[in-house]
Structure 1
Amino acid sequence: MTELLGPAEIRALAGRLGVAPTKRLGQNFVHDPNTVRRIVAAAELAPGEVVVEVGPGLGSLTLGLLAAGAQVHAVEIDHALAGALAQTAADRGAPAGQLTVHAADALRITAGELRPAPTALVANLPYNVAVPVVLHLLAELPTLEHGLVMVQKEVADRLTAGPGSKVYGVPSVKLAWYAAARPAGRVPPSVFWPVPNVDSGLVAFTRREPPRADVPRADVFRVVDAAFAQRRKTLRAALAGWAGGAERAARVLVGAGVDPGARGEALPVDAFADIAAAANVTATAPE
């Protein structure tokens, strides 16, 4: 039976490895076994499911995933931590053959490096790269069907916000391109070492088909970036630079069925896809 790590074990393991959490890597290690069990349960993993875990650190969540029967790809940028993870799993009674450790940057990992292909992402993500990591993995790993990530509560709110919310923005729309996301609970600072000065939040997501298949994702994301770069402006004004002028932006918006006087925070991801598609049509139409 796989034994999870508690506070004393976490500190002892870090001491043996000469590891001190660094703010640069956004490291905050979970030391509460009940929190690990809660995360694994909320991930709703099927038996034998292949999971990619980013930032396993000392192995708290990794052990929980292995105990649940998952095959785990653990992607760790800190080479000292990556080098110790397999031994930690063995020492704590984890079944052999379920863990593959990748000493790599998750922002550069490719699908070809993860075999068998993962179907789920479950991770306590470093606060400073949480959004880029989630979006990169969803883009790079088409086999990812669902996931559960722990991020800073403020980031969790942004990722799961809907149109009209004050925190709805670029992360909200880009995640919605790939998946339906929802908040899955709050995590207090006390379960981490070192203790962060913010709460964390769990975000669950399930992949879905993009809103439109006839427009490239990159085109849609350029519209999203432009719309929120100046979020207080109307779309007619905010998209002027992207479209090549305010008048052309207005024509594109009307062609997409969007009010040029609306603002980006009012639009769902489908509308941004419609704008990108309309721009492609307008580009080929005579002035």
Structure 2
Amino acid sequence: MVELTSLSPGPPRPSRLTPRRRPPPPTPHVHTSSRRRGRILGAATATPGADDYHSTIRSLNSRGRHVPRKSLGQNYTLNSKVNEELVAAAGVEEGDVVLEIGPGTGSLTSALLQAGATVFAVEKDKHMATLVKDRFGSTEQLKVIEEDITKFHIRSHFLPFMKEKYGATKKLAKVASNLPFNVSTEVVKLLLPMGDVFSVVVLMLQDETAVRLADASIQSPEYRSINVFVDFYSEPEYKFRVDRENFFPRPKVDGAVISFKLKNAEEYPPVSSPKSFFSMVNSAFMGKRKMLRKSLQHICSSSEIEAALDNIGLPVTARPSDLILDDFVRLHNHLAKV
């Protein structure tokens, strides 16, 4: 068995991607971002405890499930230090209400409960949902729902639970989850527009995905429509990398924790309709290598698109990967007037 190594052993690696910002001249205006890659934790060997390799195997065997289900993207955290750091990244405090997606064997759930949170856990696997219920008993600090989060109506089921715990206060809940890597984009799209429910969303994702969401720079292959979506609804921050040795079964890639500080509606960019805005952005990136005057022809004529680009100070030959969020907002608002 491999040693449970650090969250990120060895010397800190340099950021592979720069923050989303406009390159230097000749581009007419520059977007400067204060976003930086988060800290990379130093070496910290895990000691056997409630969530080490053997206890995870015992938990699975107690349900006749020695092997996690690959179809559900199940990779369980072995190192309790990882869970503690994830809870700290979410700023979980006594009395907080936290949504946890995919609690698995309950290792992160345990850390959240120890921090004093009340946890609303959504687990797709009925065996694991039962395991978590049995592990923590009938505590009022935990509610486990057997459901697929991608089909779960959060406002219908979570909001009543949150109001019951918070009462008349307007305090927002938090999200802290070790997500199955295969549903990460779906979950991000589901949660980020919910700034009226959650103040922060902290997720364990595949490292490459976390880097792309937080740090993909414009004019790079990694820059996509999801980056515009993320910036519209939140302020993302890459927190730390988690080596693959800290999971069972060991995946082929490292994990990483990323934080999204959600914006409220008053902080969203000024667009007449988010639906039409993202329809335009998605259309633009469907033809990522095409110039916008070509990929957006179903919205306006090429000449009208060129005029709008020129009006906002961008070249008429601009492609979607050349535009930051503010550029897309101004382009959308100009085209909406045509």
Contact 2:271–2:277 (Cα < 8 Å) also in 1: no
Looking at structure 2, the residues matched to 234 and 165 of structure 1 have their Cα atoms a distance apart, in angstroms, of: 13
Q: Residue in 2 aligned with 1:120? A: 174
Q: Residue in 1 aligned with 2:143? A: 100
Percent identity at matched positions?
29
Equivalent runs, 1:155-166 vs 2, <5 Å: 155-164=209-218, 166=220
Contact 1:214–1:277 (Cα < 8 Å) also in 2: yes
Q: Residue in 2 aligned with 1:31? A: 78
The number of residue pairs the alignment matches comes to: 275
Shift of 1:107: 1.4
State the TM-score, normalizing by the size of structure 1: 0.88
Shift of 1:214: 4.0
Matched, 1:147 2:201: yes
Q: Which runs of 4+ in 1 moved over 3 A?
A: 251-259
Give the direction of change, closer, same or farther, for the CA distance of 1:75–1:258 in structure 2 (3 Å limit).
farther
More helix by share: 1
User: Which runs of 5 or more residues in structure 2 are unaligned?
Assistant: 1-48, 164-171
User: Which runs of 5 or more residues in structure 1 are unaligned?
Assistant: 283-287
Contact 1:163–1:268 (Cα < 8 Å) also in 2: no
Q: Residue in 2 aligned with 1:285? A: none
Describe the SS at the equivalent of 2:121.
Answer: strand
Q: 1:6 aligns with which of 49, 52, 57?
A: 52
Looking at structure 2, the residues matched to 79 and 255 of structure 1 have their Cα atoms a distance apart, in angstroms, of: 56
Shift of 1:256: 4.8
Equivalent runs, 1:68-83 vs 2, <5 Å: 68-83=115-130
Give the direction of change, closer, same or farther, for the CA distance of 1:99–1:162 in structure 2 (3 Å limit).
same
Q: Which amino acid aligns with 1:217?
A: P
Contact 1:236–1:260 (Cα < 8 Å) also in 2: yes
Looking at structure 2, the residues matched to 140 and 47 of structure 1 have their Cα atoms a distance apart, in angstroms, of: 22
Q: CA RMSD in A?
A: 2.1
Higher relative contact order (CA 8 A, sep 6+): 2
Looking at structure 2, the residues matched to 164 and 214 of structure 1 have their Cα atoms a distance apart, in angstroms, of: 21
Looking at structure 2, the residues matched to 141 and 153 of structure 1 have their Cα atoms a distance apart, in angstroms, of: 25
State the TM-score, normalizing by the size of structure 2: 0.76
Looking at structure 2, the residues matched to 153 and 77 of structure 1 have their Cα atoms a distance apart, in angstroms, of: 23
Q: Which amino acid aligns with 2:120?
A: H
Q: Residue in 1 aligned with 2:61? A: 15
Looking at structure 1, the residues matched to 295 and 88 of structure 2 have their Cα atoms a distance apart, in angstroms, of: 43
Shift of 1:127: 0.9
Q: Deviations over 1:41-71 (max 9, x none)?
A: 2221232111111111111111111111111
Give the direction of change, closer, same or farther, for the CA distance of 1:260–1:120 in structure 2 (3 Å limit).
farther
